[in-house]
Amino acid sequence: MRSPDRAWLLRKELHELTASRAFWLLLLATGALVAHAFSDSLEVYAQASGAGGGAAALAQGLNPLDGIIVPTLGAYDLVATLLLPFVVIRLFAIEKQTGALPIVLQLPGRFSDVIVAKAIALLIGWMAAGMAGALAIVVWRAGGGHVHAAELWTVALGHLLRGFLTIGIGAAAAAISASAASAAILALAFTIGTWAVDYIAAGRGGVFARFAEYTPEAALRVFERGELRAGTVTVLLLLGFAGLVAATIWMREGVAVPRRARAALIALLVLGIAAAGADQWRWSHDTSEDRRNSFAAGDERVLRAIRQPLTVTAYLAAEDPRLADLERGVLAKLRRTMPDVRVVYAASERSEIFAAPGNHYGEVWYELGGRREMLRSTTEPIVLEVIYKLAGVPAPAASDAPAYPGYPLATTVPGAGLPFFAAWFIIVCVAWWLIRRPRSRRPAAS
């Protein structure tokens, strides 16, 4: 039989998506959440910039990425967690619920084409929801706010991938479950499970911490820091793809259950191995305007030239704030910069915070070229000084690059808040009516 016109499959799924009330309610709720987050962050940003008449924060500390973009677009994390799964499940489960799955299974071509069409339609829907965030940024810019395009796109990409992951999870849940309600429970259980992994990782470190780097919340934080990390992007894509593959395999009800289970396990195993491999992919680009994920250019040049492996052994428990400082301020940057960095978390038990002196707790050892040095400080310049000493290279001259200026904005943006939401509400309702408006002809009696 001929291959199907895939455009028809996509058109059908877009039709189904826009026919769903859940989708339009998601758009409305997204508008409300983005409007609330945007208004709040605007108010705080204006006050920090001195709008309230009080002392303003240092200009360098006023960063639109942290002050406006991340909190405003943060509404999408909530939407992706609590609302999007229902829209996804509805689109993937509709044929099972209505008894139409046998018809869909008999459409020409591969069944995976149907699943891909559903995923693309949902991504388009997710991007349509993203227009509320775009509208907020336009309002911010119109009011004189500053936007660094690269870091804005990085955060937007993070939310797009977050949505893709939710699509994968929802697809798998809808395929496995007998009803949409069961699928919703399954998707919610998965989300709560990732929260549990986050929670455990925060206290235990080790394998859990490694695993927890790819929970939706943790992965999103990478993008929200203005870092474009190849490993994170790839793992999120693979996880979302794994959900779609599982759905493709499981919804082919003409195949016996043991065969489907075997195929799903093999596919998930292969994708799991690929994800583990992608985790090792260290390429990363710092898109933040204030270069928060990078050392100074001179330091990076010197560090890149050090070819010997650097081993860092940290005797700090996972929930110790000093380890968080070290991780964010030094280790993450070292991993991005030096060709060979190995970090050993030697104190993974929380009880070691309270251990007796003499067990090395609080020490961080740096080993390079057979030489070792211990530090208790987690401050970047001190650590770099030790690394240069161990490597036997001179420290670079202090950078004369201009410091991040900061972008205070002491005035509130007119048109934000309620009018913003009203505009979004009207746009969504008009679009809803245009797409689903009743036709003039009515069905004749049977």
Which residues form the interface with other proteins (CB under 8 A)?
Answer: 1-2, 4-5, 8-9, 11-12, 15-16, 19-20, 94-95, 98-103, 105-108, 253-257, 436, 439-446
* Min separation Cβ 124 and other proteins, Å: 18
Of the pair 97, 399, the CB lying nearest other proteins is at 97
Beta bridge partners of 366: 312, 373
- Of 310, 287, 316, 322, nearest to 384 by C-alpha is 310
Question: What does the angle CA 185 – CA 32 – CA 76 come to, to the nearest 5 degrees?
Answer: 55
Of the pair 254, 357, the CB lying nearest other proteins is at 254
* Min separation Cβ 2 and other proteins, Å: 6
State how far the alpha carbon of 205 is from the alpha carbons of 220, 314, 324, in Å. 19, 12, 11
Of the pair 199, 433, the CB lying nearest other proteins is at 433
Of the pair 149, 445, the CB lying nearest other proteins is at 445
Contact between residue 160 and residue 223 where contact means Cβ atoms under 8 Å apart: no
Of the pair 19, 346, the CB lying nearest other proteins is at 19
Separation between Cα atoms, residue 367 and residue 365, nearest integer Å = 6
Of the pair 356, 434, the CB lying nearest other proteins is at 434
Give 117-152 as a DSSP string: HHHHHHHHHHHHHHHHHHHHHHHHHHTT----HHHH
Contact between residue 253 and residue 106 where contact means Cβ atoms under 8 Å apart: no
* Min separation Cβ 251 and other proteins, Å: 11
* Min separation Cβ 253 and other proteins, Å: 6
- Of 317, 350, 345, nearest to 331 by C-alpha is 345
* Min separation Cβ 149 and other proteins, Å: 39
Of the pair 1, 403, the CB lying nearest other proteins is at 1
* Exposure letters 424-441 (e unless 16+ CB within 10 A, then b): beeebeeebeeeeeeeee
Give 418-446 as a DSSP string: HHHHHHHHHHHHHHHHHHHPPPS--PPP-
* Min separation Cβ 103 and other proteins, Å: 6
* Min separation Cβ 254 and other proteins, Å: 5
Q: How many CB atoms lie within 10 A of CB 311?
A: 15
Q: How many CB atoms lie within 10 A of CB 163?
A: 24
Separation between Cα atoms, residue 91 and residue 403, nearest integer Å = 49
Of the pair 7, 58, the CB lying nearest other proteins is at 7
* Min separation Cβ 440 and other proteins, Å: 7
